[in-house]
Amino acid sequence: MSAVRLGIVGCGIAMRELHYPALSELRDLFSVVGVTSRTRESAETCAALFGTESYAYDELLRRVEAVDIAVPTHLNRGLIEKALDAGVHVICEKPIAESAETGEKIVEIAERAEPVLYIAENYRHYTAYAKARELLKEIGEPEFVLYSRFQNMEKDAKYAGTGWRKEPKHIGGFLSDGGVHDVAAMRMVVGDVKRVKAFASIVRGYLGSYDTMAASLLFENGIIGNYSVSYGLYGEDLFMVSGTEGRMRIDKKAVRIEKNGGENEIRIGEEDTYKRELIDFYEVLKGKKNSLGSPEEALKDLMVIEEAVKSSECA
């Protein structure tokens, strides 16, 4: 199978630090033939990084079979639509959009389009979550989820300094930018979310929007749980599912099952999920069917965060 002629769209942190290293190892699958970015400086940096030329977006679209988009979230829709209209496949960084409303439009556009739209949610590519789902019956009936993410962003943290993140047009700021990962992980393991209620707050003014949230979740299957998240406070990450016969702790590298007084650990180890999602995108382009990059799934992740943020703002 021949390498896909790929165009790079955007040259921010995600592209430089997450996609570029993965693409460097996947030259058999993707041949980067051009880049585009909003500023000349960024376009030149990016072209130099990938060892290729920079083009205006329209021109880039004429030269490629697929684009890899990693731009400020509120720009996704316009760029996705243009690519699909031009017959170009798209892999685009999560979150799918700045709001569920726009996300729904993107899903509609993708459904009508011939080319593939693949949303890059790297959490959906961790083996640990798939493994946890597979082993869930080991803890009897799953009943409760505890999920905590505390990722304190100092004022000089790289993501905190990004202009579009400091004045976010995407709902809830970091709560959706980072939060879709958490929802994706929970949905993979325990299923879809039916309802969510939350309180959101601002701990660090410099993050531009909400940075902290306490949310209660009701899943479609009747499981309930609490999701605690902060980008302004220190704490520990936890993903635990408690069932009638035991408990499961899940992280990106392992699944631990405790029951009957014993513990069983299934180690997965380190995984490059940016590489995995690009490989999966390639295989989907070659005809493989799967839902890991499905825009509908990405929209479901975003809708949970949007409902949470809105519930916090309502009386």
- What are the angstrom distances between the C-alpha of 297 and each of 63, 125, 202, 222? 30, 13, 28, 20
- Judged by CB under 8 A, the stretch of 27-35, 192-200, 262-270, 291-299 that binds its own copies is 192-200
294 binds its own copies (CB under 8 A): no
Q: Are strands 247-250 and 238-243 parallel, antiparallel or unpaired?
A: antiparallel
Rule CB under 8 A: say whether 220 interacts with its own copies. no
Asked if 48 touches its own copies (CB under 8 A), the answer is no
Q: Any contact of residue 183 with its own copies (CB under 8 A)?
A: no
- Which segment (93-101, 105-113, 128-136, 196-204) binds its own copies by CB under 8 A? 196-204
> Does 203 participate in binding its own copies (rule CB under 8 A)?
yes
Stretch that binds its own copies, among 26-34, 56-64, 230-238, 296-304 (CB under 8 A): 230-238
Cβ-based neighbour number of residue 148 at 10 Å? 16
Quote the CA–CA distance of 127 and 170 in Å, as a whole number.
29
Residues 115-174 that bind its own copies (CB under 8 A): 141, 143-144, 146, 148, 150
What are the distances in angstroms from CA 20 to CA 11, 243, 270?
A: 9, 41, 18
At residue 267, φ and ψ (nearest 5 deg) are -90, 135
Residue 192 three-state SS: coil
> Cβ(43)–Cβ(8) under 8 Å?
no
Element (H, E) at 194: strand 193-201
**Binding to its own copies, residues 90-119 (CB under 8 A):** none
Q: Which stretch binds its own copies (CB under 8 A): 124-132, 175-183, 208-216, 283-291?
A: 208-216
> 128, 133, 197, 206: which is closest to 165 by C-alpha?
206
User: Contact between 234 and its own copies (CB under 8 A)?
Assistant: yes
Kind of pairing between the strands at 4-9 and 30-36: parallel
Please identify which residue in 13, 38, 228, 266 interacts with its own copies, judged by CB under 8 A: 228
Taking CB under 8 A as the criterion, the residue among 197, 256, 276, 310 binding its own copies is 197
Query: 245-284: which residues touch its own copies (CB under 8 A)?
Result: 246-247, 258
Tell me which of 130, 233, 254, 266 binds its own copies, using CB under 8 A. Answer: 233
The helix, strand and coil proportions of the chain, stated in percent and rounded to the nearest 5, come to 40, 25, 30
Q: Which residue, 242 or 273, has its beta carbon nearer to its own copies?
A: 242
Positions that interact with its own copies (CB under 8 A): 141, 143-144, 146, 148, 150, 195, 197-201, 203-204, 212-218, 222-228, 230, 232-235, 240, 242-244, 246-247, 258, 311
